[in-house]
Chains A and B, each alone.
Chain A
Amino acid sequence: MAQLAAPDTVRRISGVDDSPTSRAVVPLVGARELVHAAGLLTSRRKSIWAWTRVAGDAMDLASLGMAIAHRGGRRRRRLVAVTGAVVGITVVDLLTAVQATRTKAVRGSREGGFMELTATTTIRKPPPTVYAFWRDLGNLPTFMAHLEEIRTTGDRTSHWSAGAPFGKNVEWDAEIVDEAPGEKIAWRSTGNADVPNAGTVRFGPAPDGVSTEVHVVLSYDIPGGAVGKAVARYFGEEPHQQLDDDLRRLKQVLETGEVVRSEGAPWGKRARKEFPQRPAQPLSDSEFAKGAQA
Chain B
Amino acid sequence: MRANTWAGRNKVKVRDVPDPRILNERDAIVRITSTAICGSDLHLVDGYVPTMQDGDVMGHEFMGEVIEVGRSVDPDRLRVGDRVVVPFPIACGVCGACAAELYSCCENSNPNAGIAEKMFGHPVAGIFGYSHLTGGFAGGQAQYARVPFADVGPLKIESELTDEQVLFLSDILPTGYMGAEMCDIQSTDVVAVWGAGPVGQFAMDSARMLGAAKVIAIDKEPYRLQMAERAGHTPVNFEEVDVRSRLLELTGGRGPDKCIDAVGMESSHGSAPIHAYDRVKQAVRSETERPHALRQAIMSCRSGGIVSVIGVYGGFLDKFPAGAWMNRALTLRTGQCHVQRYMEPLLRRIERGDIDPTRVITHTLPLDQAERGFEIFKNKQDNCEKVVLKP
Contact = CB atoms under 8 A, between A and B. Distances in A.
Contact of A1 (B53, B126, B284): B284
Nearest to B133: A41
Interface in B64-123: 72, 92, 94-96, 99, 107-115, 117
A123 to B, nearest CB: 9
B285 A34 contact: yes
A264 B51 CA distance: 11
Nearest to B54: A279
Contacts of B273: 13, 78, 81
B110 to A, nearest CB: 8
Given A256-B26, A262-B137, A280-B136, A34 B284 contact: yes
A47 to B, nearest CB: 13
A49 to B, nearest CB: 12
B94 to A, nearest CB: 5
A142 interface: no
A14 B280 contact: yes
Interface string A91-131: 01000000000000000000000000000001010000000
Contacts of B23: 261-263, 266, 283, 291
Contacts of A59: none
Interface in A260-294: 260-266, 271, 274, 277-285, 288, 291
Given A280-B136, A282-B19, A262 B126 contact: yes
Contact of A280 (B56, B281, B287): B56
A30 B138 contact: no
B367 to A, nearest CB: 15
Contact of B318 (A30, A88, A124, A274): A88
Interface in B241-289: 273, 276-277, 279-281, 283-287
Contact of A256 (B20, B92, B129): B92
B285 A37 contact: yes
B284 A263 contact: no
Interface in B4-25: 5, 17-21, 23-25
Interface stretch (A149-157, A160-168, A173-181, A245-253): A245-253
Given A13-B277, A88-B318, A251 B107 contact: yes
B19 A41 contact: no
A262 B125 CA distance: 12
Contacts of B92: 252, 255-256, 260
B146 interface: yes
A282 B318 contact: no
B108 A260 contact: yes
B99 A124 contact: yes
B55 interface: yes
Interface residues on A, range: 35 or more
Contact of A260 (B57, B114, B148): B148
B24 A260 contact: yes
A281 B5 contact: yes
A265 B57 CA distance: 14
A281 B126 CA distance: 15
B55 A10 contact: no
B386 interface: no
B211 interface: no
B18 A280 contact: no
B18 A285 contact: yes
A262 B54 contact: no
A17 interface: no
Given A124-B99, A258-B24, A29 B284 contact: yes
B279 A264 contact: no
B258 to A, nearest CB: 29
Contacts of B5: 279, 281
A238 to B, nearest CB: 9
Nearest to B113: A248
B124 to A, nearest CB: 13
A257 interface: yes
With a 10 A CB-CB cut-off, give which of B47, B55, B126 has the most chain A CB atoms. B55
A2 B319 CA distance: 20
Contact of B112 (A264, A285, A291): A264
A251 to B, nearest CB: 7
B132 A264 contact: yes
B129 A280 contact: yes
Given A122-B96, A274-B115, A291-B23, 6 more contacts: A13-B276, A251-B108, A256-B95, A260-B108, A261-B111, A288-B21
Interface of A: 1-3, 10, 13-14, 29-30, 33-34, 36-37, 41, 78, 81-82, 85, 88-89, 92, 122, 124, 208, 211, 241, 244-245, 248, 251-252, 255-266, 271, 274, 277-285, 288, 291
14 contacts: A13-B276, A41-B51, A78-B273, A124-B99, A241-B114, A251-B95, A255-B94, A262-B138, A265-B111, A279-B55, A280-B137, A282-B1, A282-B21, A283-B18
